[in-house]
Amino acid sequence: MKKIFYTLFIASTLVACGNKNNQTVDAVIAEGNLEKMKLKQEQILKSYDSIGALLRKMEVAINALDTLKKYPLVSTFTVKDTLFNNFVAIQGNVETSQNILLFPEYQGVLSRVYVKQGQSVVKGQLLAKIDDGGLSSQLEQLETQYELAKTTYERQERLWNQKIGSEIQFLQAKTTMDATKSTVDQLRSQLSKTSVRAPFSGVIDEVITDQGQVVGPGGQALMRIVNLEDMQVKASIPENYIQSVTVGSSVAITFPAINLETQGTIRSVGSYINPTNRTFQIEIDVPNKDKNIKPNLIANLQITNYSNENALIIPVNAIQENARGDKFVYVLSEMDGENAKVIQTKIETGKKQSGFVEVLLGLNSGDVLVQEGAVSLKDGVMVTLQTKN
């Protein structure tokens, strides 16, 4: 009320003084004299400036005496040096290079299956046996023939070295031995295909073909074997991150399905950009001591693509923007108890993460700025600081 009273008093005084020596605005307009109109306009502007100056002076005097005056209530944030990390959030898929189906290489009846689903096996362990259809008996006969051919060759060799016998006998004995050995080796190779062995250590994930069924090359798989120790997550990364996502970058990995969080590092980065979706592939090693992580499990990744150990960060909601697109904040100065004056300060920002933004220019560590309540403020106004509980 005091402010309104003084404003009306000053305004009426100035208008009265102006009307005492000059014509009214309506009279000047009615007269239609351009020079008098411009002169009247200058008089009005001078009166307006005088009123504004007097009002500002009066406001300062009132604020000094009015202890009950209320300033805008604001919350604050103190700028400090801190570690700032920026992340690329992406979804990946768990894979393992040791996850294969075992197919038969020999035609016959699956006579024995030595393992069951969920069983751990070691590399080279016998998993199943296919009936060889008499192949082993043939091999025994050929091995006997080979031993005879070998003995005959060795005797002919001794005689030939003693210049006894003909060269043709020696060469025939050697040819017979070599041919028999080649046949034995081929039969052994065929017979080895009747034994299904583990190509690596792992777990039998599924037994697909039951004992007693006829199997053969190109037919149904016998079983699946998986190694859960050597696991990795594969993900497709947008091409604009190709310089910041590199081998060795740390990754926070979350598996929502099993409520598990772990850390990993990027072990490989693809050199090929997929023209369809403009992405490149990465692989991340995943520790799996408890065997909880399974192939094809969904993984949420946070890849660190930028880090600053001495960054100045502020809340995003503390930043204002003018019509020109300049970003600014209100920094507190002339603090008096719970009251302070705000100074509009232009800033330059960098990367954003989790509701905070890195400030590159404009602020220093220790600056206190307005966080909430800055929308209605103007440069130089007084504010009241919200008490923190």
Structure token digits, residue 317: 């909601």
Structure token digits, residue 250: 């740390």
Check whether 207 has a pLDDT greater than 90. yes
Given 276, 308, 340, which residue is the final one in a domain? 308
Domain extent, residue 208, equals: 102-127+197-225
Neighbours of 94 (CB within 10 A): 21
Separation between Cα atoms, residue 293 and residue 287, nearest integer Å:
9
Q: Are the C-beta atoms of residues 90 and 282 closer than 8 Å to each other?
A: no
Sheet containing strand 120-121, strands side by side = 99-102, 223-226, 202-207, 120-121
What local confidence, expressed as pLDDT, does residue 69 receive?
63
Query: What is the mean predicted confidence (pLDDT) over 314-339?
Result: 87
65: confidence class by pLDDT, cuts 50, 70, 90: low
Question: What backbone phi and psi angles, to 5 degrees, belong to 205?
Answer: -75, -35
51/164 same-domain check = no
388: confidence class by pLDDT, cuts 50, 70, 90: low
Higher-pLDDT residue of 78 and 23 is 78
Amino acid found at 45: L
Structure token digits, residue 253: 């990995």
Separation between Cα atoms, residue 187 and residue 140, nearest integer Å:
10
Nearest Cα neighbor of 142 from 86, 189, 99, 82 is 189
189/202 same-domain check = no
189/233 same-domain check = no
Query: What is the mean predicted confidence (pLDDT) over 124-132?
Result: 93
Separation between Cα atoms, residue 208 and residue 161, nearest integer Å:
60
Residue with token string 């930028």: 306
242/93 same-domain check = yes
177/272 same-domain check = no
Separation between Cα atoms, residue 299 and residue 292, nearest integer Å:
13
State how far the alpha carbon of 103 is from the alpha carbons of 95, 132, 209, 328, in Å.
Answer: 21, 16, 10, 68
Alpha helices in the chain (DSSP H): 2-21, 25-31, 34-65, 135-161, 167-192
Q: What CATH code is carried by the domain that includes residue 259? A: 2.40.30.170
Q: What CATH code is carried by the domain that includes residue 360? A: 2.40.420.20
Question: What backbone phi and psi angles, to 5 degrees, belong to 19?
Answer: -75, -25
State pTM to two decimals. 0.53
Side-chain half-sphere exposure of 26, counting CA atoms within 13 A: 0
Digit-coded pLDDT (tens) for 248-307? 888 999 999 999 998 888 999 998 999 999 999 999 988 888 888 888 999 999 988 888
Amino acid found at 244: S
297/332 same-domain check = no
Rg of the chain, C-alpha, whole Å: 45
201/117 same-domain check = yes
What local confidence, expressed as pLDDT, does residue 165 receive?
77
What local confidence, expressed as pLDDT, does residue 338 receive?
84
Query: What is the mean predicted confidence (pLDDT) over 355-380?
Result: 88
Query: How many domains are there within the chain?
Result: 5
232/217 same-domain check = no
15: confidence class by pLDDT, cuts 50, 70, 90: very low
Check whether 20 has a pLDDT greater than 60. no
Structure token digits, residue 213: 């069924």
What local confidence, expressed as pLDDT, does residue 215 receive?
93
230/93 same-domain check = yes
Q: What CATH code is carried by the domain that includes residue 202? A: 2.40.50.100
Angle at CA of residue 106, ends 102 and 110, nearest 5°: 75
Check whether 375 has a pLDDT greater than 80. yes
Digit-coded pLDDT (tens) for 306-322? 888 888 989 998 998 88
Separation between Cα atoms, residue 171 and residue 167, nearest integer Å:
6
Digit-coded pLDDT (tens) for 131-183? 988 888 888 899 999 999 999 998 888 888 888 878 888 899 999 999 999 99
230/303 same-domain check = yes
Handedness of CA 241, 244, 250, 252 (dihedral sign): negative
Which residue(s) pair with 306 in the sheet?
Answer: 86
212/267 same-domain check = no
What local confidence, expressed as pLDDT, does residue 2 receive?
46
| DSSP assignment of 16-77 | HHHHHHS--HHHHHHHT-HHHHHHHHHHHHHHHHHHHHHHHHHHHHHHHH-TT--PPEEEEE
Question: 3-class SS at 140?
Answer: helix
Question: 3-class SS at 283?
Answer: strand
160/49 same-domain check = no
Q: Are the C-beta atoms of residues 191 and 132 closer than 8 Å to each other?
A: yes
Question: 3-class SS at 231?
Answer: strand
The pLDDT mean for the chain works out to: 85
